[in-house]
Structure 1
Amino acid sequence: MPQYAADRAETLRNREKLSANANLLYWYRQLYRDQFRDLSDPENLAVLEIGSGVSPLRRFYSNVITSDVLELDYLDYVFDCHEIDQLT
């Protein structure tokens, strides 16, 4: 299996595992609250997440713009972060 396909398959497996793990999702929620605690209204910001493959950030903040180098159905953008200056 080519590396890209293997990485994509592993990302999807890991995302499923994370989605099924309520305890881990709880701790992610706490982490994100801590990260955004000094922002007055994080739900109204435009937040670009780089490397959103497995990340549950959008579950907690629907305004997050997701991206990854892998083509995944649930992402807003697919690009290599080395080319972020070309993103429109």
Structure 2
Amino acid sequence: MLAAYAVSKKGRQPERSPDRLIPVSNPIERLNKEVKRRADVLGITEAQIMSVLRQAEGGIPVPELCREHGISSATFYKWRARYGG
């Protein structure tokens, strides 16, 4: 089966599904929607994110937390920058 392609300045790119597009012009709002969409895909709530951050504040090493929760260290540090901690 062939994928649908759109022609752009960068060449032929796979078309994104319309349901995955985030039609928002404000960059902050777009970022918030993207973060929420990714959290929905992963099945992680803001309360769970805060719980992970609190565990790190409690002294549990970040690599151990990341392994335990199945996230990358980059994701952990993005959460910490976004939600504090």
Same-fold call, TM cutoff 0.5: no
Give the TM-score normalised by structure 2: 0.31
- Relative contact order: is structure 1 or structure 2 higher (C-alpha 8 Å, sep ≥ 6)? 1
Give the TM-score normalised by structure 1: 0.30
Q: Which has the larger radius of gyration?
A: 2
Q: Which has the higher helix share?
A: 2
